[in-house]
Structure 1
Amino acid sequence: MLKKFSLLSLSAAVLASMSVNGVPTDAQAVTLKWHTFIPPVANPSKFYKPWAAKIAKDSGGKLKVKLFWTMQLGGKPTQLLDQAKDGVVDIVWTLPGFTPGRMPRVEPFELPFVHKDPVSTTLALQDFQAKHLGPDLKDYHPLLLHVHAGFLFQTKKPILKMEDLKGMKIRAASRAGVWMLQAFGAIGIGMPLPRIPGALSKGGIDGVTLPYEIAPAVKTQDLVSHFSILEGHQPRLGTNVFTLLMNKKKYEGLPNDLKRVLDANSGRNIAKAAGELWVKIEEPGRKVIASKKKNKFHTIPAIEVARLKAAAGPVFDRWYDEMKKIGVDGPALVKDARAMIEKYSK
């Protein structure tokens, strides 16, 4: 069970975990434009607001990250990767899953039941990035790859067995998630996060696969009534990979002292803090859901979980076929992803 925590102390912990010695003295002031699709009230802001503040502090105010939320700088969530690549903005935080096939080598972590928890999976992603993700990230300077706590069913009708999913229209964030839902008998629909409230309220979808923490941002506490996790040591169906990516030329053009500040607040230096925060922000999201008397929490029994896992087998085969088309050894990537997660789960 997650322990109660203070958001203020949590933010302080994030800041402390991103430490760097000394303050640069030889750099000109630089402001980086950071762009994302979520609103500033969403729980992930509890990571990125302290992160931006820490960079300003460590640089003595000479490197600042200005945060732009909810696509304030224009475009659609599906265009964020290109915005960073083309220099429209300096940094983006987004999901590669919004543009299926764009970064296929990260997808083993999004396949059903591979993920365990956000700390071990995020730490594993750092190893996996160094070994496998060069081709996918060649157009960017990666600052962090991480995951959320894992998605569960959030639906208008209860889900306690696989038959309950038949014909339901359920949103997923990635193609692996869509394929998983199809394998379960549901109608999987890929959809960026901002479109969820309208789709739920107008009947375009019957539910979503999301973690608790993001529920208040898309109002699932009001728009659906049933929340289903899995019995056993792996209570979530899977997760999604998030990428914090910087324009490559912008990074290369920074003075060396500011590069050092950014490097100290990137990658392995902040991965554990990111994983731990995404564990902890589940609790306030769940509390918002529980505050509505209409909402009910369910646990899908182990016998049904086994059926879901068996049904998910073809999802892997489908992904392996897609990887074969681009000359990538899919089974080897999945094997490595599982081994790396297991390494950090011990």
Structure 2
Amino acid sequence: MKRIGLKFAAMSVMAGLVSATAAQAQDFTFKLHHFLGAKAPAQTQMLEPWARQVEENSDGRVKIEIYPSMTLGGRPPELIQQARDGVVDLVWTVNGYTPGLFPRTEVFELPTVFKNDPVAANLAMFDMFEDDLKEEYQGVEVMFLHVHAGQGLHMRNTEVRTPADLDGKKLRIPTRTGAWAIEALGASPVAMPVPELPPALQKGVVDGAMIPWEIIPPLKIHEQTEYQIEGHDKERFGSTSFQVSMNADRWNGLPDDIQQAFRDASGRDWWGKVGEVWRGTDNFGIELAVKSGNTHITLTEEETQAFRDALAPVVDRWIEDVSAKGIDGDDLVEKARDLIADNTGAM
């Protein structure tokens, strides 16, 4: 009887330890909401590794649940407000889905500022964040910012080698800076979240889109287009900025050690790593398109310069626009260009 009693007591202690561990593991549960599918590289290669690192840093006290494809409701442009209102704890979203809300960060989207290196751009964003960008992220605590590998042209059935080839075409873009670029090239911008692009291409609502190659596999863009076009040495026509951010009240209510778990997973090296992820997935996307029979056009240096010349006024337009709001656009462009140059080849 005594042995049975001791065994029961030991089992009770073990059960108590397991229960305590489980309870501890559920101390802080966060819902992360985003607009792409669960198999998109943005989730599998960026959001999931980041979430698991935060959980590890917290010794299991944090659990981050990822909800893709807007499964918690709403449309992609509503994500940032969902985070600000505390409807969800965390979001990954496109800054440009809410035009004008993050004007300083737009500098990294501009053609001739962003060219072809998402790692360098992300590191430059990190270096500028505290002094130049942070003030526009009201209501949220930024975990990290990033750009994608840059806007390439995806065309249904039009071969493009000069800006004139785009005259009168309708192109999808998610951001106002991208819309300005499309207008500068003589085309008409059509704003829509990227999940809506495949049927728009299929039905001829748009003739093409400015997006990175990364999005080709998850949305099967290669099945709706014939041509993918980029500049010399992988130069692109601008980029798009994104954020992963937490509701500010939720953040402020966390103990210091849990905040540190997030900070340690979201440092400068991680911002650079995200750039590597997007470059890698971009390469995979264009390889898939080519293997499927699409034509990948890399413009010559001379052809690329014609696009640079056409797009140069976009930077001037942005500087004038933000300057009217009291933002020193000239300074931001100069800083961004210098820091991108300094960080080129950094990783």
- TM-score relative to the length of structure 2: 0.88
Residue 27 of structure 1 and its aligned partner are, at CA, apart by 8.5
| Counterpart position of 2:153 | 153
| Counterpart position of 1:245 | 245
| Counterpart position of 1:196 | 197
**Contact (CA 8 Å) 2:31, 2:67: kept in 1 or not?**
yes
**Contact (CA 8 Å) 1:162, 1:304: kept in 2 or not?**
no
**Contact (CA 8 Å) 1:159, 1:300: kept in 2 or not?**
no
Q: Quick check: 1:321 aligned with 2:320? A: yes
- Aligned-partner SS, 1:213: helix
| Counterpart position of 1:298 | 297
Greater shift after overlay, 81-90 or 233-242?
Answer: 233-242
| Counterpart position of 1:32 | 30
- Aligned-partner SS, 1:141: strand
Greater shift after overlay, 215-224 or 118-127?
Answer: 215-224
Q: Quick check: 1:44 aligned with 2:32? A: no
- Aligned-partner SS, 2:239: coil
| Counterpart position of 2:69 | 70
| CA–CA distance in structure 1, aligned partners of residues 134 and 56 of structure 2 | 31
Greater shift after overlay, 335-344 or 280-289?
Answer: 280-289
| CA–CA distance in structure 2, aligned partners of residues 237 and 267 of structure 1 | 28
| CA–CA distance in structure 1, aligned partners of residues 295 and 333 of structure 2 | 35
What residue identity is the alignment partner of 2:27? A
What residue identity is the alignment partner of 1:208? A
**Contact (CA 8 Å) 1:27, 1:255: kept in 2 or not?**
no
Residue 227 of structure 1 and its aligned partner are, at CA, apart by 0.6
Residue 225 of structure 1 and its aligned partner are, at CA, apart by 0.7
Structure 1 moving runs of 4+ over 6 Å? 25-28
| CA–CA distance in structure 2, aligned partners of residues 183 and 102 of structure 1 | 22
| Counterpart position of 2:97 | 98
Greater shift after overlay, 79-88 or 253-262?
Answer: 253-262
| Counterpart position of 2:20 | none
| CA–CA distance in structure 2, aligned partners of residues 196 and 247 of structure 1 | 29
| CA–CA distance in structure 2, aligned partners of residues 302 and 249 of structure 1 | 50
| CA–CA distance in structure 2, aligned partners of residues 104 and 121 of structure 1 | 16
Q: Quick check: 1:56 aligned with 2:55? A: yes
| Counterpart position of 2:217 | 216
| Counterpart position of 1:86 | 85
- Aligned-partner SS, 2:113: coil
Deviations 1:40-76 (A, max 9, x none): 1211121111221222222222101100001010011
What residue identity is the alignment partner of 1:141? E
Closer, same or farther: CA 216–27 of 1 in aligned 2, 3 Å: closer
Gaps of 5+ in 1: 1-24
Select the structure that is richer in helix: 2
**Contact (CA 8 Å) 1:151, 1:239: kept in 2 or not?**
yes
| Counterpart position of 1:141 | 141
**Contact (CA 8 Å) 2:234, 2:298: kept in 1 or not?**
no
**Contact (CA 8 Å) 1:173, 1:190: kept in 2 or not?**
yes
What residue identity is the alignment partner of 2:218? A
What residue identity is the alignment partner of 1:210? I
**Contact (CA 8 Å) 2:151, 2:211: kept in 1 or not?**
yes
Closer, same or farther: CA 38–149 of 1 in aligned 2, 3 Å: same
**Contact (CA 8 Å) 2:143, 2:266: kept in 1 or not?**
yes
| Counterpart position of 2:339 | 340
| CA–CA distance in structure 2, aligned partners of residues 83 and 98 of structure 1 | 13
Closer, same or farther: CA 269–32 of 1 in aligned 2, 3 Å: farther
**Contact (CA 8 Å) 1:27, 1:62: kept in 2 or not?**
yes
Q: Quick check: 1:282 aligned with 2:293? A: no
| CA–CA distance in structure 2, aligned partners of residues 179 and 252 of structure 1 | 38
Residue 214 of structure 1 and its aligned partner are, at CA, apart by 1.0
Closer, same or farther: CA 82–109 of 1 in aligned 2, 3 Å: same
**Contact (CA 8 Å) 1:109, 1:239: kept in 2 or not?**
yes
Deviations 1:62-121 (A, max 9, x none): 101100001010011111110111101001001111111011010111111211301100
| CA–CA distance in structure 1, aligned partners of residues 85 and 269 of structure 2 | 27
What residue identity is the alignment partner of 1:66? E
Number of residue pairs matched by the alignment: 321
Residue 136 of structure 1 and its aligned partner are, at CA, apart by 0.7
| CA–CA distance in structure 2, aligned partners of residues 142 and 172 of structure 1 | 24
| CA–CA distance in structure 2, aligned partners of residues 146 and 267 of structure 1 | 12
Residue 269 of structure 1 and its aligned partner are, at CA, apart by 4.4
**Contact (CA 8 Å) 1:26, 1:257: kept in 2 or not?**
no
Which structure's CA Rg is the greater one? 2
Residue 26 of structure 1 and its aligned partner are, at CA, apart by 8.2
| Counterpart position of 2:272 | 272
What residue identity is the alignment partner of 1:223? Q
- TM-score relative to the length of structure 1: 0.89
**Contact (CA 8 Å) 2:111, 2:236: kept in 1 or not?**
no
| CA–CA distance in structure 2, aligned partners of residues 138 and 209 of structure 1 | 29
**Contact (CA 8 Å) 1:151, 1:238: kept in 2 or not?**
yes
**Contact (CA 8 Å) 1:36, 1:92: kept in 2 or not?**
yes
Q: Quick check: 1:114 aligned with 2:127? A: no
**Contact (CA 8 Å) 1:145, 1:267: kept in 2 or not?**
no
Residue 28 of structure 1 and its aligned partner are, at CA, apart by 6.3
| CA–CA distance in structure 1, aligned partners of residues 120 and 269 of structure 2 | 15
Residue 209 of structure 1 and its aligned partner are, at CA, apart by 0.9
